[in-house]
A and B are shown apart, each in its own frame.
Chain A
């Protein structure tokens, strides 16, 4: 059974840092593109970052809103995806989802349940 389980969310002050994790099971995540998407409370979905698959050297993409502050990475041995978030702002408050994307299909085909990040003083 395919599963994506996010963790690492919590309350952090503006300017602080947090590292999110996404543990994949039921498939080999290095064969897939993996993405982070967030959803501010009561709002819509915002894509923020992508790590392409092993065949594409795990190259990355970022949304302008997080470029230079957030870093996506993987640990292939742990079948996991990470998001290092620095210089956090109040507008980064959201539920953060990881999502799987088949390289040929390019649409998110499986999503986790999300982890809540609250940036507040």
Chain B
């Protein structure tokens, strides 16, 4: 299975900050990467698919980039609603696998 490693595991930031989360794959996954946001007690929500495509209804402050084995999720200016856990997920091959998550906390 392809291993997905996110960094950092926890990120403390303030409203208005620009933040970046990195996701590395153990082998190339082309651009078959998605980012999901999860809030406590809720199912995840798709933010970005195919590395950089913004899901409908997701604010434009979210963006994604990368290819091959290294990918990033950037939030350009944090809003209070953005404090959550973020997961990357590869869908290049089975088993579909997720990163361990990045908890974005209020500083």
Q: Which residues of A contact B (CB under 8 A)?
A: 4, 35, 44-47, 50, 61, 63-64, 97, 99, 105-114
The residue in A63, A64, A106, A107 that gathers the most chain B C-beta atoms within 10 A of its C-beta is A107
Interface residues of B in 91-107 (CB under 8 A from A): 91, 94-101
Q: Given the known A-B contacts A44-B100, A105-B50, are A111 and B91 also in contact in the complex, defined by CB atoms under 8 Å?
A: no
Please judge, given known A-B contacts A107-B89, A108-B34, A111-B45, whether A47 and B95 are in contact too, CB under 8 Å: yes
Residues of A within 8 A of B44 (CB): 45, 97, 108, 111
Interface residues in B, total, Cβ within 8 A: 24
CA distance A61 to B7 in the complex (A): 29
Which residue among A35, A50, A64, A106 has the maximum number of chain B CB atoms within 10 Å of its CB? A106
What sequence of 0s and 1s flags, for each residue 60-100 of chain B, a beta carbon within 8 Å of any chain A beta carbon? 00000000000000000000000000010101001111111
Provide the residues of chain A in CB contact with B34, threshold 8 Å.
107-108
Complex A-B: 20 CB contacts under 8 Å: A4-B43, A45-B36, A45-B98, A47-B89, A50-B96, A63-B94, A63-B95, A64-B1, A64-B95, A106-B91, A107-B34, A107-B49, A107-B50, A107-B89, A107-B91, A108-B34, A108-B36, A108-B46, A109-B55, A114-B43
**Chain B: CB-nearest residue to A98:** B43
State A47–B4 Cα separation when bound (angstroms).
Answer: 13
Q: Which of B1, B46, B95, B101 contacts A109 (CB 8 A)?
A: B46
B25 to chain A, nearest CB (A): 15
What chain B residues lie within 8 Å of A35 (beta carbons)?
96
Q: Which residues of A sit under 8 angstroms from B50, Cβ to Cβ? A: 105, 107
- Shortest beta-carbon distance from B63 to chain A in Å: 16
For B43, B44, B89, B91, the residue with the greatest tally of chain A CB atoms inside 10 Å of its CB is B43
